[in-house]
Chains A and B, each alone.
Chain A
Amino acid sequence: GAVVSQHPSWVICKSGTSVKIECRSLDFQATTMFWYRQFPKQSLMLMATSNEGSKATYEQGVEKDKFLINHASLTLSTLTVTSAHPEDSSFYICSAWQGQETQYFGPGTRLLVL
């Protein structure tokens, strides 16, 4: 149980294009989903917290207009990187939380912007 999937697992795109990443909780309903970013050889940095049916809460320094988050249902949240640039290249990981103690993480999406 408690499986979280992400799609796509990796994506390469041209600078200026937008990329959508999906995060799904497969066998449970997630009250909250979190989006993290991980640079090479570094820890996870929380980007935003997403609650179903409401606007996401962004961490300080994260551009909300660049990283659009939609949490349309209790099992799906999407992160759209708008007008991506090479500096947006990173490993993006989501997690899902049921309101109890444990966050369950997706396998991550590697984004490379050329």
Chain B
Amino acid sequence: AQSVTQLDSQVPVFEEAPVELRCNYSSSVSVYLFWYVQYPNQGLQLLLKYLSGSTLVKGINGFEAEFNKSQTSFHLRKPSVHISDTAEYFCAVAYYGGSQGNLIFGKGTKLSVKP
């Protein structure tokens, strides 16, 4: 069965420090990869996505992610975080077959940015 693993459930970090949120997926077929952010009591906002092409993807709010096919990873990075980046981050994989587009989510990583 396909799965998405977010290795860290919580990541505390100080403001202006760099951060990496890890995501690995299981797949033997082509996939689309996404990172979503969820602020408290809100829905999901798309941060960035990898569909094809360049393996380094840049998203909103200064985040970027790198697709590594050999390691089946899609880690999210930001060189300098802000207090406002405190949120839950979800990695998701889409396996598109037929007419359905089912997303499989990781369990999420809670990023806490401390002053």
A: which residues have CB within 8 A of B? 4, 6, 31-32, 34, 42-44, 46, 49, 51, 93, 95, 97, 99, 101-108, 110
Contact = CB atoms under 8 A, between A and B. Distances in A.
Nearest to B90: A43
Contact of B49 (A4, A6, A34, A102): A102
A46 B101 CA distance: 12
Shortest 4 CB-CB contacts between residues of A and residues of B: A107-B43, A105-B44, A108-B43, A105-B43
Given A43-B90, A107-B43, 8 more contacts: A32-B99, A32-B100, A42-B107, A93-B44, A97-B101, A101-B101, A103-B94, A108-B43
Contacts of A101: 32, 49, 51, 94, 96, 101
B42 A32 contact: no
Q: Is the interface of B mostly helix, strand, loop or mixed?
A: strand
A42 B110 CA distance: 10
A6 B102 contact: no
Contacts of B46: 102, 104-105
Contacts, number: 55
Contacts of A108: 41-43
B25 to A, nearest CB: 14
A107 B101 CA distance: 20
Contacts of B102: 34, 46, 49
A46 to B, nearest CB: 7
A103 B103 contact: yes
B90 A103 contact: no
B105 A44 contact: yes
B44 A43 contact: no
A6 B99 CA distance: 24
Nearest to B34: A102
B21 to A, nearest CB: 14
Interface string B28-40: 0000101010000
B15 to A, nearest CB: 24
Nearest to B36: A105
